[in-house]
Amino acid sequence: MNEKWIIRNGELMDPATGRREIGDLYIANGIIVDRAPDDAHVIEAAGLTVMPGLIDLHVHFREPGNETAETIASGSHAAAHGGFTTVVTMPNTRPSVDSPEQVAYAIRQAAAANAVELLPSACITRDRRGKELSDLSALAAAGAAAFTDDGSTVSDDGLMKAAMQQAALLGIPVMDHALDPIMAGNGVLHDGDAARRLNLPGIPSAAEDTVVARDIALAAETGCATHIQHISSRGAVDLIVAAAARGIPVTGEATPHHLALSDADILEDDGNFKMNPPLRSPADRDALIAAILNGGITTMATDHAPHLAALKAKGIRRAPFGVLGLETALGITYQLLVVEHGMDPLDWLRRWTQGPASVLKRPCPTLQAGTRADIVVADLSTPWTIDSSKFLSNSRNTPFGGRRCQGRAVITLKAVRGISSEMS
Ligand SMILES: [Zn+2]
């Protein structure tokens, strides 16, 4: 493949410098360069936007253990198709990622797929059982980018504190699926209107807020960079924003589905509206949108969670938790935040680049010469309709099928191992 590129006449949008103007971008051997290379492949980008590839801190690729739902390769291609160039995978595979061998396996499979940079997170506790710490330093040495037991919280406060003390020394963030399993019980929807209407058991916001408060207290005590995954409640938003303002090293992420939907959108018993934490009330959703708009919450992440259609068809009570996100996130969030709420497109882009990069202790992605050419060329002006039959994911479980939105990746270029591209 030609490794020299000229992306011509696009709108260059750089979250690091705030630059936003029509121009050309030059790439040679995976690096952005400041003059046009000879014999380059030309991409005509007039009418399109050229920006650093998006980073997703929260994806579930189901390999090993459930490759029918998603493999590392299918998930990686879905990510590139959606405009992402870096993803952080969750460790709740079978076996779970609690050994250096499993970390190495994920990195190796992603390298073979050669579509995006995959950064594996690894388990805080052995097999995510919450009983005994994993060997965090060995996992870090193998390349773990973060520690989390996602799918479960670590309920034992002492164990969580010990993990955060070690992670702080290793310089690796701890991420928490903050939800008290006892309070959540057998709940399947937010403990609110939709649960009552459909006569289904609820998950109270307090199940989330109490664990977020615990995590913030431990972050303050240990100094560990602590990231709250998939925030859904207004209480969690308020706690994180207040703690961050006091200088406690805590961040949080908002998913496209928690931003764009609430339990008022659950009109019938449809498993594609079941995720954990659940869609909460319109007031919770509005608090989350406000925090993303004003930067109180710095990061968006998809919680891309593929499941087989047959399982999702079982209805809300029996279906597994989780929905897809990688191939709809750009359009859903651009439509909601920029088109409908008037957010500065640069700030929108920062929530997908600068925010997640800083959680990973990386510099803000940029279009400046000398940096790695992880680039997405996007059409941010043409409305389109989400059609799950076009997904590159192995799964189809989205609550956004048939939804109109604006903003779509056209070409994704990734520099990790030379240049490859995903054309939509
Ligand atoms: Zn989770």
Walk me through the domains of the chain, giving residue ranges and CATH numbers: 53-366+385-400 (3.20.20.140)
Radius of gyration of the CA atoms of the chain, in A? 20
pLDDT for res 416: 43
Q: Are 29 and 67 in contact (CB under 8 A)?
A: no
pLDDT for res 422: 43
Residue 20 Cα to ligand 1 middle (Å): 35
The phi-psi region of residue 247 (left if phi > 0; otherwise alpha if psi is between -120 and 50; otherwise beta) is: left
Tell the residue number behind the tokens 């109109």, with chain if given: 404
Q: Are 307 and 359 in contact (CB under 8 A)?
A: no
Torsion of Cα atoms, 42 then 43 then 46 then 49, to 10°:
-130
Q: How far is CA 352 from the centre of its chain?
A: 8
DSSP class of residue 334?
I
Residue 14 Cα to ligand 1 middle (Å): 30
Residue 317 Cα to ligand 1 middle (Å): 18
Residue 115 Cα to ligand 1 middle (Å): 24
Contacts of 285 (CB under 8 A, 6+ apart): 258, 259, 261, 262, 279
Tell the residue number behind the tokens 């935040």, with chain if given: 337
pLDDT for res 421: 44
Residue 230 Cα to ligand 1 middle (Å): 7
Residue 65 Cα to ligand 1 middle (Å): 18
The phi-psi region of residue 26 (left if phi > 0; otherwise alpha if psi is between -120 and 50; otherwise beta) is: beta
pLDDT for res 394: 98
Span between the terminal Cα atoms of the chain, in Å: 18
The number of residues in the chain equals: 424
* Active-site entry in 98, 215, 303, 379: 303
- Report the predicted TM-score, pTM, of the whole model to 2 decimal places: 0.97
Q: In a 10 Å sphere around its CB, with 0-12 CB exposed, 13-18 middle and 19+ buried, how is residue 265 labelled? A: middle
Strands (E), 66-133: 84-89, 117-122
Q: In Å, how far are 49, 170, 206, 211, 227 from 221, measured between CA atoms?
A: 43, 16, 22, 15, 15
pLDDT for res 420: 44
Residue 177 Cα to ligand 1 middle (Å): 5
Q: What is the distance between the alpha carbons of residues 220 and 228, in angstroms, rounded to a whole number? A: 14
In three-state secondary structure terms, 375 is: strand
Q: How far is CA 22 from the centre of its chain?
A: 29
pLDDT for res 415: 62
303 is catalytic: yes
Per-position pLDDT tens, the chain of length 424: 458 999 999 999 999 999 999 999 999 999 999 999 999 999 999 999 999 999 999 999 999 999 999 999 999 999 999 999 999 999 999 999 999 999 999 999 999 999 999 999 999 999 999 999 999 999 999 999 999 999 999 999 999 999 999 999 999 999 999 999 999 999 999 999 999 999 999 999 999 999 999 999 999 999 999 999 999 999 999 999 999 999 999 999 999 999 999 999 999 999 999 999 999 999 999 999 999 999 999 999 999 999 999 999 999 999 999 999 999 999 999 999 999 999 999 999 999 999 999 999 999 999 999 999 999 999 999 999 999 999 999 999 999 999 999 999 999 988 644 344 444 3
